Amino acid sequence: MNKDLYIVLMAGGVGVRFWPYSRNSKPKQFLDVLGSGRTLLQSTYDRFLPLCPKENILVVTHEEHTKLVHEQLPDLMQSQILAEPMRKNTAPCIAYASYKIRKMNPNAIVVVTPSDQLVLKEIDFQSVITKAASQAAKQDILITLGIKPTRPETGYGYIQFIEGKGFIKKVKTFTEKPALAIAKKFLESGDFVWNAGIFIWSVQAIVKALQTHQAELADVFEDIEKDLGTDQEKMAIEQAYGQCKNISIDYAVMEKAENVHVCLGDFAWSDLGSWGSIHEISEKDDHNNAIQAQALTYDTRNSIIRGSKGKLIVVQGLNGYLVGDFGNVVIVCEKDKEEQFRKFVNDVKGLPNSTEFI
C-alpha cells in the first residue's frame, strides 16, 4: 500500500443518457446499475482500497450530492468530500483536487478516475495502476489509461500511441468518438486504444501542466490554496468556480502538453455510458434480452426490460428497445439511440411540472 498515492473519484455528473433511471436527485454513479448490491461509486471506491489508505481517497461531487456520498461511503471524513458549487467540467474539478492534495502532500501521486465505470479483472487493473503510479513518481509525465479495443466502438474516444519498449507509450494523437469506418481502421492499425478517462500523475506534474497550459485556471486555485482545508474553503471554492471556464481536462491540458503518455490495459472495461453498454455487459436470456423485472416477453429480442417491484411488464414484438418503469416515468424507446436521451430530457424540461420527472 502506497501512502503517497491519492485517488480522486469524480462523481459530479448527472447521467442524462441514463434518464429516467438516473435523475438529478440520484445520478447513475449513486445507483446499483449492475444489480451487484453496490452502487457504481461504492464499487469504484472498493476497487482502489487495496492500493492506498482510505484517508487518501477523495470524492469530488456537486454540493447537492454530498449527503449521498456520505451515505454510500460512510468511512470518508467531511474533508475527503470536495463539494463543487457548480458543474464546470473536469478541468476545474481536477484543479480543485490537485491543489488540495498538493497542500496535504507535495510528494503525492494522484489517480483521477470517473466513479461510474465497470472494471472486471480488478487485480489486473490494480497492477496496471500500481505500475503507472511508479512511473509517474519517477518522471515529469502525464499518464492516461488506454484499453486495448475489442471492437470498432464509435462511442469511445481513442488514443494513438508511438510504439516503444514498456507498457507506457508516448501519445501521438487523441480522437473523439470516430465514425464506424474510421474506428475499424483504428482497430486494424494496432496503435490505437480506447481512452478510459483515467489519469495518473504526480501532483507536481499536473499543477505544472495547469500553470503552463491553463494559467488563468491555475491562478484561480493558487489564490485560494491557503484556504483549502480550512473553514474558509467553501467560500473560497464558490468564488473560484465563479471564475472558472467550463472545460474538460482533455482540451485544457492533455491535448496540448508534450509529456503525455498512455499505459496500456487489457482487461474488461466499460464506461457504462449508455443503455447499449448496459445491455452488453448484462446477463441475457435466450433472445438476448437483459431483464431486471417481472416480465413476459413475446417475439422480443435484443432489448432491455426494467421495472419496479410489484409491476408486471408484458412486451411483444420489439427488437433493440429499452422498456422501463422508473418511478413516475415509463419509457419505451430504441436503446442504442443514446443521443435521443438528451433530447428527451430537454423536452421534459419544457413541461410545467418538469422537476417531478428530472
pTM, full prediction: 0.92
84 pairs with which residues across the strands? 62
346: region left, alpha or beta (phi > 0 left; psi from -120 to 50 alpha): alpha
User: What is the rounded CA–CA span in Å between residue 262 and residue 321?
Assistant: 36
Question: CB neighbours (10 Å) of residue 15?
Answer: 22
Of 37, 100, 43, 89, which is closest to residue 62 (Cα–Cα)?
A: 89
Question: Given CA atoms 250, 255, 257, 259 in this order, what sign does their dihedral have?
Answer: positive
Q: 247-257 burial, b for 16+ CB within 10 Å, e for fewer? A: bbbbbbbbeeb
Q: Which residues of the chain have pLDDT under 70?
A: none
Retrieve residue 165's grid coordinates: 519498449
Length of the chain as a residue count = 358
Asked if the peptide bond before residue 152 counts as cis, ω within 30 degrees of 0, the response is: no
Walk me through the domains of the chain, giving residue ranges and CATH numbers: 5-270 (3.90.550.10), 275-356 (no CATH)
CA 232 distance to own-chain centroid: 29
Per-residue confidence (pLDDT) for residue 174, from 0 to 100? 93
Three-state SS for 138? Answer: helix
270 pairs with which residues across the strands? 118
Three-state SS for 33? Answer: coil
Helices (H), the chain: 40-48, 66-72, 90-104, 122-138, 180-189, 203-213, 215-224, 233-243, 249, 275-281, 339-348
Burial of 50 per CB tally in 10 Å (0-12, 13-18, 19+): exposed
Q: Residue 195: what are its φ and ψ, rounded to 5°?
A: -90, 110
Retrieve residue 168's grid coordinates: 507506457
**Which pLDDT tens digit goes with each residue over 264-311?**
988 788 888 888 888 988 899 999 999 999 999 999 999 999 998 889
Could you say which DSSP state residue 19 is in? T
User: What is the rounded CA–CA span in Å between residue 246 and residue 288?
Assistant: 40
